[in-house]
Amino acid sequence: MSSTENGAIAAIPATQHNHFNDDGLLRYGRMLIDGEWVDAASGETFEALYPGSGTTIARVALGGTGDVDRAVAAARRALEGSWSKINGAERGRILWKIADLMEQHIDELAELETLNNGKPILESRRVDLPQSIACFRYYAGWAGKATGETIEPDARANALAFTLREPVGVCGQIIPWNFPIQMATWKIAPALACGNTVVIKPAEQTSLSILRLGELLLEAGVPAGVVNIVTGYGHTAGAAMVAHPGIDKIAFTGSVEVGKIIMREAASSLKKVTLELGGKSPNIVFADADLEMAAKVALGGIFFNQGQMCTAGSRILIQRSARDRFMETLSTRAAKMTTGDPLDPKTRMGSLVSQDQMERVLGYIGKGREEGATLVAGGERVGTSGYFVQPTVFDAVTSEMTIAQEEIFGPVASVLTFEDEADAVRIANDSRFGLAAGVWTGSVGTALRTARALKAGTVWVNTYNMTDNALPFGGYKESGFGRELGAAALDMYTQTKTVWVDLA
Ligand code: NAP
Ligand code: MG
């Protein structure tokens, strides 16, 4: 392993855990269908990379329509067979066991996540994995507890009526690359708690930690066919899932563009669809806020995970009277943030996920310059190996600029200035997105009025980017619909049946 001056790695990195075979590739790459590890029916594979150096680290089965067919058939058999005979308490025990196994292998899973995604090992180990483990435990507690009610009909009906909460059925889950194992967990855990079966497709860039999770699911006692992992591309394997008549629901997290395609395509079989899409979240700093703290947390809010977050606080709105003081802290702190070797525990900012994503982000930085925003920190690629981009801050951004409207999904903050509360709310809501927002103020009244006025699925007051497995998460406007996490996810993974019993 050789390090370049920015800390990026030039070849396959030395790892703490032995994930590699003798040929220098990771041992993961086959798909999980019906409890078996299988190649694609076509025999084709595609490459998985380590973003820190761009090196190929695995060959992954290229799933297609035939593989999706097999996975759906297995999920259907399990739904009606083995899984239907396992009650809620037992499903809860299995979910808890999954969490225990993940905890036992936490260092290995965290390293694998960083190897395939490029995010700092510190984040994988301290955030992504612990939150995923806690998510399986949270839904272990809910297993079998999404129950129906006895409801009194009109007395003249002389009937007893009650509802059953039944699983939706075979759930197709299509997930992105920014938090691979966590996004898989947010979808698999509630689906299994409610008695569904799953066909999940990881993003093409990041299959590996999810394949390893598949091994742990089997070890925990998840019966064959209950969770099937089909690796491959969105426009082939993903599209085949969306079109498949044997899939009852699609849960999707990713871009608005693909979300719209999925909704259109799902109409032909009238599948249920839940969409968790992008954002351009405003982080509003009023002059009476703790400006030091606001600046510090706002930087975390945009640069965590290299800015590749649907909730990234990518529009920082600062009140004019505090602008100079705030910008001084923000730009000084931003300039001190550096990228480094993702596998080094001291690194706070790693690599973007892919060359494509890096080019996309650099393209937006170019747009920001062209459209007249003022670059106050960063703005460049770091080194020539891997996909590292400097933490970048643009000041003097206005709402019409591309970098104030489009989701960049990278380490780029756009700072806009506002005059008063009404102006802040107007600018904040001037977006097609509505996933999240932040409000920084010393006034309870300002905080609560603004929180109510913002069109967003989550509003953070004097903090940013907090999530909890018990709290619902999802979007307003083009950020999607449906809620993940919390009890809200149980509604997404069950359907209600009313039963009338005539008493005459
Ligand atoms: P994407 O294309 O929306 O990918 C999300 C998932 O959808 C992936 O598993 C993808 O497979 C799959 N997919 C793509 N086309 C599909 C289709 N026609 N039918 C069914 N599934 C399909 O996102 P991306 O291309 O990875 O990233 C592009 C941009 O999307 C980012 O720059 C960012 O702005 C946004 N994004 C948002 C989120 C979020 O959490 N809100 C996450 C990721 C990306 P493939 O991986 O094979 O394409
Ligand atoms: Mg894609």
17: in domain: no
431: in domain: yes
**Over 70: is that where the pLDDT of 399 sits?**
yes
User: Do 95 and 238 fall into the same domain?
Assistant: yes
User: Do 205 and 308 fall into the same domain?
Assistant: no
**Over 80: is that where the pLDDT of 7 sits?**
no
User: Do 341 and 240 fall into the same domain?
Assistant: no
* DSSP bridge partners of 77: none
Say whether 310 is catalytic: yes
- What is the DSSP annotation of 321-372? GGHHHHHHHHHHHHHH--B--TTSTT-SB---S-HHHHHHHHHHHHHHHHTT
Average pLDDT on 76-91 reads 98
485: in domain: no
Model pLDDT, residue 11: 60
User: Do 262 and 294 fall into the same domain?
Assistant: no
**Over 90: is that where the pLDDT of 148 sits?**
yes
**Which of 243, 277, 311 is at the close of a domain?**
277
CA distance 72 to 171: 9
User: Do 286 and 270 fall into the same domain?
Assistant: no
139: in domain: yes
- Helix ranges restricted to H, 194-322: 208-219, 239-243, 256-266, 291-303
The verdict on the CB of residue 409 being under 6 Å from ligand 1 is: yes
Model pLDDT, residue 5: 43
377: in domain: yes
Catalytic residue among 276, 407, 478, 484: 276
**Over 70: is that where the pLDDT of 8 sits?**
no
Which residues have C-beta within 8 Å of that of residue 130, sequence separation ≥ 6?
106
- Residues 239-281 pLDDT 10s: 999 999 999 999 999 999 999 999 999 999 999 999 999 999 9
The verdict on the CB of residue 68 being under 6 Å from ligand 1 is: no
Q: Which domain holds residue 138?
A: 64-277
Cβ count within 10 A of residue 452: 9
User: Do 444 and 361 fall into the same domain?
Assistant: yes
The verdict on the CB of residue 310 being under 6 Å from ligand 1 is: yes
Show the tokens assigned to 434: 């509505």
Q: For atom 26 of ligand 1, which residue has the closest CA?
A: 176
- Whole-number mean pLDDT of the chain? 96
Show the tokens assigned to 451: 């929180």
Cβ count within 10 A of residue 227: 30
Match 């690629």 to its residue by tokens: 381
**Over 70: is that where the pLDDT of 108 sits?**
yes
The verdict on the CB of residue 67 being under 6 Å from ligand 1 is: no
CA distance 365 to 408: 9
**Residue 254 alpha carbon to ligand 1 centre in Å:** 4
The verdict on the CB of residue 235 being under 6 Å from ligand 1 is: yes
- What is the DSSP annotation of 103-127? HHTHHHHHHHHHHHH---HHHIIII
Average pLDDT on 99-118 reads 97
User: Do 401 and 266 fall into the same domain?
Assistant: no
Name the nearest CA neighbour of 279 among 117, 428, 491.
428
* DSSP bridge partners of 433: 477
185: in domain: yes
Q: For the domain that residue 299 is a member of, what is the CATH number?
A: 3.40.309.10
- Helix ranges restricted to H, 194-253: 208-219, 239-243
Q: Nearest 5°: phi and psi at 9?
A: -105, 140
Which residues have C-beta within 8 Å of that of residue 301, sequence separation ≥ 6?
283, 312, 313, 438, 464, 465
**Residue 233 alpha carbon to ligand 1 centre in Å:** 10
Q: Nearest 5°: phi and psi at 92?
A: -60, -40
Show the tokens assigned to 490: 């149980």
Going by pLDDT thresholds of 50, 70 and 90, the confidence category of residue 27 is: confident
Instruction: Provide the percentage of residues in the chain whose pLDDT is more than 90.
Output: 94
Model pLDDT, residue 277: 97
Show the tokens assigned to 407: 């989701």
Model pLDDT, residue 10: 46
In this structure, the strands spanning 433-434 and 381-382 are unpaired
Catalytic residue among 310, 407, 421, 478: 310
353: in domain: yes
- State which of 353, 409, 433, 478 you would mutate to test the pocket of ligand 1, scoring each by most atoms of that ligand within 8 A of its C-beta: 409
User: Do 265 and 297 fall into the same domain?
Assistant: no
Say whether 276 is catalytic: yes
Contact 167, 493 (CB under 8 A): yes
* DSSP bridge partners of 173: 200, 251
- State which of 258, 275, 458 you would mutate to test the pocket of ligand 1, scoring each by most atoms of that ligand within 8 A of its C-beta: 258
Handedness of CA 492, 132, 180, 32 (dihedral sign): negative
* DSSP bridge partners of 417: 318
Match 């996920």 to its residue by tokens: 353
Model pLDDT, residue 12: 65
State whether residue 102 is helix, strand or coil. helix
**Which of 260, 277, 294 is at the close of a domain?**
277
Contact 477, 134 (CB under 8 A): no
Q: What share of the chain is helix, strand, coil (3-state, %, to 5)?
A: 40, 20, 40
User: Do 301 and 408 fall into the same domain?
Assistant: yes
Going by pLDDT thresholds of 50, 70 and 90, the confidence category of residue 158 is: very high
- Residues 235-245 pLDDT 10s: 999 999 999 99
* DSSP bridge partners of 165: 496
CA distance 459 to 479: 14
- Residues 351-375 pLDDT 10s: 999 999 999 999 999 999 999 999 9
Tally of domains in the chain: 2
The verdict on the CB of residue 412 being under 6 Å from ligand 1 is: no
**Which of 247, 277, 307 is at the close of a domain?**
277
Match 């009025």 to its residue by tokens: 449
User: Do 336 and 382 fall into the same domain?
Assistant: yes
For the chain, the C-alpha Rg in angstroms (whole number) is 23
Q: For the domain that residue 183 is a member of, what is the CATH number?
A: 3.40.605.10
User: Do 298 and 150 fall into the same domain?
Assistant: no
Cα end-to-end distance, the chain, whole Å:
80
User: Do 206 and 315 fall into the same domain?
Assistant: no
The verdict on the CB of residue 451 being under 6 Å from ligand 1 is: no
Measured CA distances, 164 to 25, 150, 153 (Å): 49, 9, 16
Contact 114, 121 (CB under 8 A): yes
Q: At what angle do helices 106-117 and 129-142 cross, to 10 degrees?
A: 120
pTM: 0.96
**Residue 255 alpha carbon to ligand 1 centre in Å:** 5
Contact 63, 172 (CB under 8 A): no
Going by pLDDT thresholds of 50, 70 and 90, the confidence category of residue 20 is: confident
318: in domain: yes
In this structure, which long-range contacts are made by residues 76-79, counting pairs with CB atoms below 8 Å and at least 24 apart in sequence?
A: 76/170, 76/197, 76/246, 77/34, 77/225, 78/197, 78/223, 78/224, 78/225, 78/226, 79/167, 79/169, 79/170, 79/196, 79/197
**Over 90: is that where the pLDDT of 18 sits?**
no
